[in-house]
Amino acid sequence: MKELEEKIVQAASLEALEKVRVELFGKKGVLAAEFAKMKDIPGPEKKAFAEGLNQTKAVLQERFDTRYEALKAEEIENLLKAEAIDVSLYGNRVEKGALHPVMETMDKIIDYFVALNFAVESGPMVEDDFHNFEALNLPKYHPARDMQDTFYFGDGSLLRTHTSPVQIRTMMQTKPPIRMIAPGSVFRRDYDLTHTPMFHQVEGLVVDEKGKISFANLKAILTDFLRYMFGDVEVRFRPSFFPFTEPSAEVDVSCVFCKGEGCRVCSHTGWLEVLGCGIVDPNVFKAVGYEDVSGYAFGLGVERFAMLMHDIPDLRSLFEGDIRLLEQFR
């Protein structure tokens, strides 16, 4: 027995101790071999032999557990010493990080409108049909709903397809005048070079007494905003259709790549579409209980702006987490 105890005590590491454990307690170990001898021992002597063997096993197990705890503590101590940090030493140089280009672009957009005293509002990403569609003059079966391929849940709720529901919720909770923007994530079932299932929008809304808001106000602020974002560009407004605004317009800027000369990016037209806008439709005000007011609204895709500002050809690359792309924005 002393020889077996010495094997345990002399184990210098947990690996060596494990080998001793297998040798002593394993299925083919020393103790298993001793217990196997019991079948050959006469009946009167078998009990005494078993008791003695069990006592030996208990003593060896106690020695093993004690040695295991000691070696485990020693291993932890050595690991802590190896990982110790001398805080008095100079550290490695830390590279400066940067905002993701989408967040950087969104922050720049928000800064512009906050400087004009626009409030920044937010709302839930999981919406109901009323706030996302019906209150925005998009009743059930309206063909314009097909423009926004929607993610629906089993209970009829949905992932918002634009941040316009934030405008509806704000109007239902606040009396005019209102000057607000609603930045945030939106979701549509689309995925290609210029679309992803999740992207970011910033939508704006201004509401005041009837007669105080005009399309001229909207045109002036958006023209100044687009020159703030893209520099010295030409801006044009084209008639368009949106269910929640009337009249509506799509807004273009002269191509930031070819300066309006015509290139592959602008399809040789010299113009790039960047946002939509219009005067709020009376049906929208009716849905939120407003009377004798007028207002304008606009909306833009943040990724679209980021791609144009940083010459990024594929929208999907903004969401792939490729460090080679992100390192360019330090």
| 3-class DSSP state of 137 | coil
Please give the average per-residue pLDDT across 159-166, as a whole number.
Answer: 93
| pLDDT given at position 46 | 75
If pLDDT is split at 50, 70 and 90, which confidence band does 175 have?
Answer: very high
pLDDT digits (tens, 9 = 90+) for 236-272: 999 999 989 999 999 999 988 888 788 877 788 889 9
Buried b (16+ CB within 10 A) or exposed e, 89-128: eeeeeeeeeeeebbebbbebbbebbeeeebeebebeeebb
- Residue 266's region, left for phi above 0, alpha for psi from -120 to 50, else beta, is alpha
Which are the contacts of 254, defined by CB distance < 8 A and separation ≥ 6? Answer: 233, 234, 235, 260, 270, 271, 272
* pLDDT at residue 193, as a whole number: 60
Where do the CATH 3.30.930.10 domains begin and end in the chain? 101-329
Q: Which residues contact 151 (CB under 8 A, 6 or more apart)?
A: 158, 159, 187, 188, 189, 197
- Dist. CA 16–CA 10, nearest whole Å: 9
**Domain 101-329, CATH class in plain words:** alpha beta
Residue 316, pLDDT above cutoff 80: no
Burial of residue 79 (number of CB atoms within 10 Å: 0-12, 13-18, 19+): exposed
Contact indicator for 99, 167 with CB cutoff of 8 Å? no
What's the pLDDT tens digit per position in 81-125? Answer: 888 887 787 767 777 777 888 999 999 999 999 999 999 999 999
**Three-state DSSP class for 302?**
helix
Q: What are phi and psi of 114, to 5 degrees?
A: -65, -35
Are 260 and 225 spatial neighbours (Cβ–Cβ below 8 Å)?
A: no
Give residue-wise pLDDT tens across range 10-40.
888 888 888 888 887 888 787 777 777 777 7
pTM comes to 0.67
User: What letter represents residue 255's amino acid?
Assistant: C
State the Cα–Cα distance between residues 258 and 38, nearest whole angstrom: 96
* Chain centroid, CA 180 distance in Å: 24
Q: So what's the pLDDT on residue 144?
A: 63
**pLDDT tens column, 192-245:** 666 678 889 999 999 999 888 999 999 999 999 999 999 989 999 999 999 899
Backbone angles phi, psi at 132, to 5 degrees: -85, -30
Q: Is the pLDDT of residue 308 over 70?
A: yes
